[in-house]
Amino acid sequence: MKKDVLEGVSPEAKEKMTKNLVYVGIIGVVMLFMGLSSAYYVSMGDSFWVKFPLPSAFWISTIVILVGSFLFVLAIRDMKKGHTLRAKYLVLATTLSGIVFGITQYIGYSQLVDKGAYLVSNILVSNGRYGDYYELKMDGALLVVDGNNFKKKGELLSSSEMESLKLFANHFTSSDSAQQLTIDNYGTKFNLIYRSEPLAIVDGRLIHSNGEELTRVDWIRLNDMMKHIAAGRGDFFLKGQVGKDFKLYYHGEEVKYDNRELYYQGKRLSKGLELKLIDSRDNATSYLYIMTILHLLHVIFMIIYMILFTRRTFNNEFNSENTLGMRATAIFWHFLGALWLYLLLFLLFIH
129-135: average pLDDT: 94
Q: What is the pLDDT confidence band of residue 178, given thresholds at 50, 70 and 90? A: low
Average predicted confidence (pLDDT) for the chain: 90
* E strand or H helix that includes residue 149: strand 149-152
State the pLDDT at residue 206. 83
172 has pLDDT over 50 = yes
The number of CA neighbours under 13 Å toward the Cβ of 166 is 14
97-102: average pLDDT: 97
State the pLDDT at residue 3. 43
Crossing angle of helices 216-230 and 159-173, rounded to 10°:
150
49 has pLDDT over 70 = yes
State the pLDDT at residue 351. 61
pTM equals 0.87
**Portion of the chain with pLDDT greater than 90, in percent:** 72
74-94: average pLDDT: 95
State the pLDDT at residue 60. 97
Q: What is the pLDDT confidence band of residue 252, given thresholds at 50, 70 and 90? A: confident
Gap between the Cα atoms of 342 and 33, Å rounded = 10
17 or 71, greater pLDDT: 71
Gap between the Cα atoms of 99 and 13, Å rounded = 34
In degrees rounded to 5, what are phi and psi of residue 327? -70, -35
165 and 150 in contact (C-beta within 8 Å)?
yes
pLDDT tens sequence across 139-155: 999 999 999 999 999 99
2 has pLDDT over 90 = no
188 has pLDDT over 80 = yes
Among 169-183, 209-223, 256-270, the range with the most confident prediction by mean pLDDT is 256-270
101 has pLDDT over 80 = yes
203 has pLDDT over 50 = yes
State the pLDDT at residue 27. 95
User: Which domains, from first to last, does the chain contain?
Assistant: 11-120+283-349 (1.20.120.80), 134-278 (no CATH)
1 has pLDDT over 60 = no
Q: How far from 53 is each of 238, 244, 282, 292, CA to CA, in Å? A: 12, 10, 15, 15
Strand partners, 51: 247
State the pLDDT at residue 175. 66
Provide the 3-class DSSP secondary structure of residue 118. coil
Q: What is the pLDDT confidence band of residue 174, given thresholds at 50, 70 and 90? A: confident
State the pLDDT at residue 128. 92
pLDDT tens sequence across 295-325: 999 999 999 999 999 999 999 998 888 888 8
The string of DSSP codes covering 70-106 is HHHHHHHHHHHTT-HHHHHHHHHHHHHHHHHHHHHHH
Gap between the Cα atoms of 68 and 48, Å rounded = 38
**How many angstroms from the chain centroid is the CA of residue 160?**
27
100 and 318 in contact (C-beta within 8 Å)?
no
Burial of 294 (0-12, 13-18, 19+ CB in 10 A): middle
State the pLDDT at residue 205. 79
